[in-house]
Amino acid sequence: MKGFLLTRGAQALLVILIMSFVIYSLIGLMPGDPIDQMISADPNMTSADATRLRALYGLDLPIHQRYWNWLSAALSGDLGYSRLFAKPVLEVLLPALKNSVMLLGLALFMSICIAIPIGTLAASKPRSVFDYGVNLFAFAGISIPSFWLALMLIILFSVILGVLPAGGIAQSDAGFWESMKYLILPAATLTIASVGGHARYVRAAMLEVLRQDYIRTARAKGAGAMRVVWRHALRNAMIPVVTIMALDFGTLFSGALITETIYSWPGMGKLIFDSVMGNDCNLALIALLFATTLTLVGSLLADICYAWLDPRITLGVSEQ
Amino acid sequence: MSSVDETILSVSNLSIGFETDEGLIPVIEEVSFDLHTGRTLALVGESGCGKSVTAFALLKLLPPFGRIISGSIKFRGQELVDSTESEIQAIRGDRISMIFQEPMSALNPVFTIGSQVAESLLLHRHLDKKMAWQQAVEMLVAVGIPDAAQRAKNYPHQLSGGMRQRVMIAMALSCEPDILIADEPTTALDVTIQAQILDLMHDLQERFGTAILFISHDFGVVSRMADYIAVMYAGKIIERGDAGEILTGARHPYTCALLATTPRIDASVTRLPAISGRVPAPGQRPAGCYFQPRCPNASDHCGEQRPPPVDLSVTHQLICHEVVSE
Ligand SMILES: Nc1ncnc2c1ncn2[C@@H]1O[C@H](COP(=O)(O)OP(=O)(O)O)[C@@H](O)[C@H]1O
Ligand SMILES: [Mg+2]
C-alpha cells in the first residue's frame, strides 16, 4: 500500500509537471500578453516603452526560458499575483477550491446515495415498471441541459416559492442552515444531471453480477432474494461502478462551470472562466493545474476503493 | 435419525418446460427417480441432456423462464413443487444442498471462504458469528483443508481448484443436509484431484448418511460412486437400474454406446468409438424414440411410436422398441 501510494504520488507529480508546461505554453500562445493590455489602457505608451517593459518582465525570452523562470519561482512558493483580483493567487484560489469541493462533493455524494439503491432495484426486477421508470428518469437527467434545469429550479424555488436564494453564497459568518440554503439549488442541479448516468452504471454492473455462478451458489445456500442482491451481488457490482464515479469527480469539476456561473457560485469553474476571459495568466495557470490535480486525486481514490472492494487486487504489493 | 436406504426424496413424472417466443417447449419429460439415505444415485448422460435442469428443479432454482409443467417432488413427504419461496429457502442449503461443476466461479470472490461456509450456519442454525466461524473452520478441517483456521481467512482466488471444490463441499455439508446434489463436481478438475474429491464425498456420505444425486457424463467417475444409475437422454430417463446392472448389463443402445466410449483402466484396446451426431435440443426432438436418429439398432417403427417401458428385473428398466424382456 505504501509503495503503491509512493509510486502513484510520483506519477501524479510528473503528470502535473508536464501539464504545467502544456498549460503554460497554451496560455503563452493566446493573443495578447500583459503588456498589450497596458498599451490599450494607456495610449501614451510608445512601442519603445513596451519593448523595455517586455524585457523587464522577461516576456521577450523564448517560451522554455520563461517557463523555467516561472517554475523556479513557483517551486520557491511564489505563485505570483492575480491581475484581476490584485491579490496573491493562492488567496484567490483557496476559497474557490473550498467552495467547489463542497458543492461537487455534496452533489456526487447525493448522486451515489440515490443511484445505488435505484440502480440495484431496477436490476433486480429487469423489465419491470420500476426498471423502465428508472431508465426514463436517467435519460431525462442526461439530456436536460443543466442551464435550463438551473433556470427552472430558480424560477420555482426562488421566484415563485421564494424559499431559496437564486444564487451567490452566504456571508462567512452565516450559520450552517443559512449556508446550506445557498448550496441546495446548485447541488441539486448537478445531482440531477449525474444521477441518471450513475443509476444506469449501477444497473448494468448489477445485471452482469446477477448472472454469475456465485449468485446461484448463494441462492442454493438458502439466502433470500434481498440478501442475494444486497450482500452477495452489490459489493461485486460496486467494483466497476466506483471507478467510474471517482473519475467522474474530475469531470464534474470542469463540468460545473455552467452551474457555478448561473448560480454565481464562487467556485473553481467560475474562477477559471473569469481568469481566462480576463487574461489573468497567473491565476488561470494555477487554477487549471489545481483542476488537473483534483482529477488525478479522483483516479487515485478510484484505485484505492477498487483494491478495498476487490480482494483480488493488491495495490502493487505482493501477497502475504 | 433415518436409516440407510429409506426413501428421502421421490420425484415422479416431473416435466419441465422453458417459456420461449415460440411458446412453452418441453425440456424435461416425465422424469421419475428416488433418492435413498446414505446412497448415491448417478444421473448420467451427454452434455445437454437435461441433467442440470433436473437438478436445479429439485431446489426450484430454474432460470426465470423455466416452469415445472407437471409432476411431483416429494421430500420427506413434503411436496416441493407447490412450496412457497420461504419454505423452499428453509430447505436450500439446510436439508438439500448443491455443489457445482465450476469451483472457480461458484465462490464469491469478495468474501473469505470462512465467511462463505459460515453463512449457511448463520442462515439456518442462527448461530452467532463467532460460533458459525468456528464451526466453519471445523467443516474445512473435515473436508481436508490443511491449516484450516488460517485458510478460512483466504479469499477464493488464493486457493487451487481442488481446494475450492473442497470448500464448496464444506459449505454444502455444513448443516448436515439429508441430500447433496453434486452437478459434475469433478469435471473441471484434473484426474488425481478428481479421485481425492470422490473419496472425500464417499467418506462424508458414510459419516453423515447423506443421500447423493451425483450428476456426470462420465461412466468412469460414476462407476466409483454410484449405488444406482439413471441414464438420461434428451430430457427423458431411458434406462435405470442398480449400478451393477447398468455397468455390466446395460441393454439400451444409448447406454451401451456411452459405456463403450468410457476408457477402462483394464482395457487392452484404447480405441474409443464415439457416438455420431448430437443430443437434439429441446423443441427439436424427433418423433418416436428420441435416440432413433443416432441409434445403430433402429428400425422403421422406432421413428413412429414412443418406445414402451421394458422391465428386465424389479430394479432394471428401460424404454426401447428393440429390447424385449425375456
Ligand atoms: N439457462 C438456459 N438458457 C437456455 N437454455 C438452457 C438453459 N439451461 C439449459 N438450457 C438447455 O436445456 C437443455 C438441458 O440443459 P442442461 O440441463 O444444462 O444439460 P446437462 O446438464 O445435461 O448438460 C440444453 O439443451 C440446454 O441448452
Ligand atoms: Mg450440466
Q: How far is A119 from chain B (nearest CA, A)?
A: 20
Question: Model confidence at B268, in pLDDT bands (50, 70, 90)?
Answer: low
Question: Model confidence at B261, in pLDDT bands (50, 70, 90)?
Answer: confident
Q: Does position A316 have pLDDT exceeding 70, yes or no?
A: no
Distance (Å) of CA A192 to CA A111, A180, A260, B284: 8, 18, 15, 51
pLDDT digit string (tens) for B35-75?
999 999 999 999 999 999 999 999 999 999 999 999 999 99
Residues in B lying within 8 Å of A, measured between beta carbons: 59, 61, 85-86, 89-94, 97-98, 100, 102, 105-110, 119-120, 123-124, 155, 157-158, 168, 171
Q: Does position A292 have pLDDT exceeding 90, yes or no?
A: no
Question: Model confidence at A40, in pLDDT bands (50, 70, 90)?
Answer: confident
Does residue B64's CB lie within 6 angstroms of at least one atom of ligand 1?
Answer: no
Point out the ligand 1 atom lying closest to the alpha carbon of residue B63: 1
Q: What is the ipTM of this complex?
A: 0.90
Ligand 1 pocket: which of B47, B51, B52, B61 to mutate (most atoms within 8 A of CB): B52
pLDDT digit string (tens) for B137-165?
999 999 999 999 999 999 999 999 999 99
What cell was used for B212? Answer: 447423493
Q: What are the chain A neighbours of B109 within 8 Å (beta carbons)?
A: 214, 236, 310-312
Q: What are the chain A neighbours of B92 within 8 Å (beta carbons)?
A: 219-222
Question: Of B98, B105, B123, which has the smallest distance from its Cβ to A214's Cβ?
Answer: B105
Q: What are the chain B neighbours of A236 within 8 Å (beta carbons)?
A: 108-110
pLDDT digit string (tens) for A240-265?
898 888 777 777 666 688 899 899 99
Secondary structure (DSSP) of A195-259 = HHHHHHHHHHHHHHHHTSHHHHHHHHTT--HHHIIIIIIHHHHHHHHHHHHHHHHHHHHHHTHHH
What cell was used for A127? Answer: 423489465
pLDDT given for residue B2 in this prediction: 52
Please give the distance, rounded to the nearest whole angstrom, from the Cα atom of residue B212 to the centre of ligand 1: 21
Amino acid at B245: E
What cell was used for A157? Answer: 424555488
Q: What is the CATH number of domain A90-309?
A: 1.10.3720.10
pLDDT digit string (tens) for A71-86?
998 888 888 888 888 8
* 3-class secondary structure, B266: coil
Could you tell me what percent of chain B has a pLDDT over 70?
Answer: 95
Q: Does position B275 have pLDDT exceeding 80, yes or no?
A: no
Q: Distance between alpha carbon A225 and the CA centroid of its chain, in Å?
A: 37
Q: How far apart are CA B34 and CA B7, in angstroms?
A: 6
Q: How far apart are CA A260 and CA A182, in angstroms?
A: 12
Please give the distance, rounded to the nearest whole angstrom, from the Cα atom of residue B100 to the centre of ligand 1: 14
Residue nearest (by alpha carbon) to ligand 1 atom 9: B53
Secondary structure (DSSP) of B14-81 = EEEEEEETTEEEEEEEEEEEEEETT-EEEEE--TTSSHHHHHHHHTT---TTEEEEEEEEEETTEE-T
pLDDT given for residue A277 in this prediction: 85
Does residue B293's CB lie within 6 angstroms of at least one atom of ligand 1?
Answer: no
Q: Is A103 exposed, middle or buried (0-12, 13-18, 19+ CB in 10 A)?
A: buried
pLDDT digit string (tens) for B115-138?
999 999 999 999 999 999 999 999
pLDDT digit string (tens) for A123-171?
998 889 999 999 998 998 888 888 899 999 999 999 999 999 988 888 8
Q: State the residue for C-alpha cell 483402466.
A: B265
pLDDT digit string (tens) for A11-33?
888 999 999 999 888 887 777 77
Secondary structure (DSSP) of A58-106 = TTTS-HHHHHHHHHHHHHTT---EETTTTEEHHHHHHHHHHHHHHHHHH
Question: Of A213, A219, A222, which has the smallest distance from its Cβ to B105's Cβ?
Answer: A213
Does residue B283's CB lie within 6 angstroms of at least one atom of ligand 1?
Answer: no
pLDDT given for residue B326 in this prediction: 60
pLDDT given for residue A318 in this prediction: 42
Which uninterrupted H or E stretch holds A184? helix A176-210
Of B81, B58, B78, residue with least CA distance to B69? B81
Q: How far apart are CA B56 and CA A284, in angstroms?
A: 64
Which uninterrupted H or E stretch holds A308? helix A281-309
Residue A91 CB-half CA count within 13 A: 10
Does residue B235's CB lie within 6 angstroms of at least one atom of ligand 1?
Answer: no
- Compute, in degrees rounded to 10, the torsion defined by CA atoms A64, A70, A76, A78: 180
Q: Does position A271 have pLDDT exceeding 50, yes or no?
A: yes
Residue nearest (by alpha carbon) to ligand 1 atom 26: B48
Residue A107 makes CB contacts below 8 A (sequence gap 6+) with A186, A187, A190, A191, A194, A252
Residue A310 makes CB contacts below 8 A (sequence gap 6+) with A239, B109, B110
Q: How far apart are CA B212 and CA B38, in angstroms?
A: 7
pLDDT given for residue A80 in this prediction: 86
Please give the distance, rounded to the nearest whole angstrom, from the Cα atom of residue B50 to the centre of ligand 1: 6
Q: What are the chain A neighbours of B97 within 8 Å (beta carbons)?
A: 220-221
pTM for this structure? 0.85
Question: Model confidence at B86, in pLDDT bands (50, 70, 90)?
Answer: very high
Point out the ligand 1 atom lying closest to the alpha carbon of residue B53: 17
pLDDT given for residue B3 in this prediction: 64
Average pLDDT on A105-123 reads 93
* 3-class secondary structure, B184: coil
Q: Does position B222 have pLDDT exceeding 50, yes or no?
A: yes
- The radius of gyration of chain B from alpha carbons, rounded to an integer in Å, stands at 20
Residue A151 makes CB contacts below 8 A (sequence gap 6+) with A262
How many A/B residue pairs have CB atoms within 8 Å?
A: 69
Residue nearest (by alpha carbon) to ligand 1 atom 17: B50
What cell was used for B99? Answer: 455443489
Cβ-contact B8, B36 below 8 angstroms: yes
Could you tell me what percent of chain A has a pLDDT over 70?
Answer: 96
- Secondary structure letter of residue B307 according to DSSP: P
Residue nearest (by alpha carbon) to ligand 1 atom 2: B63
Please give the distance, rounded to the nearest whole angstrom, from the Cα atom of residue B239 to the centre of ligand 2: 19
Please give the distance, rounded to the nearest whole angstrom, from the Cα atom of residue B56 to the centre of ligand 2: 10
pLDDT given for residue B241 in this prediction: 97
- Where exactly are the structural domains of chain A? 2-79, 90-309
